Amino acid sequence: MERSTRVSVFESDKPSEIQLIKSKLDDAQITNSVENSYLTFTTTPTATSLKIMVDLKDEKNAFQVIDAYLQQSENQ
């Protein structure tokens, strides 16, 4: 069985932003998943950071999709 390496390509504490990026990756047919983890001790203990994870082989394409979205949203 081949094991794939998963990498984080985007992190946010805003679920709506995570969902938007996730849908952009889905549209680009990049398999992804969302994981959550506690933020560092400098924040409140209940705060969580959401991460979008992709296969290492899809990392470059995922960053291109995310960069395009971030540039588009900056220009609005």
For residue range 20-74, list pLDDT tens digits in order.
999 999 999 999 999 986 655 555 555 678 999 999 999 999 999 999 999 998 8
CATH class of the domain at 7-75: alpha beta
Q: How far is CA 74 from CA 12, 21, 68, 69, 71, in A?
A: 17, 14, 10, 9, 5
User: What is the predicted pLDDT for the residue at 74?
Assistant: 84
Q: Where are the domains of the chain?
A: 7-75
The predicted model scores a pTM of 0.81
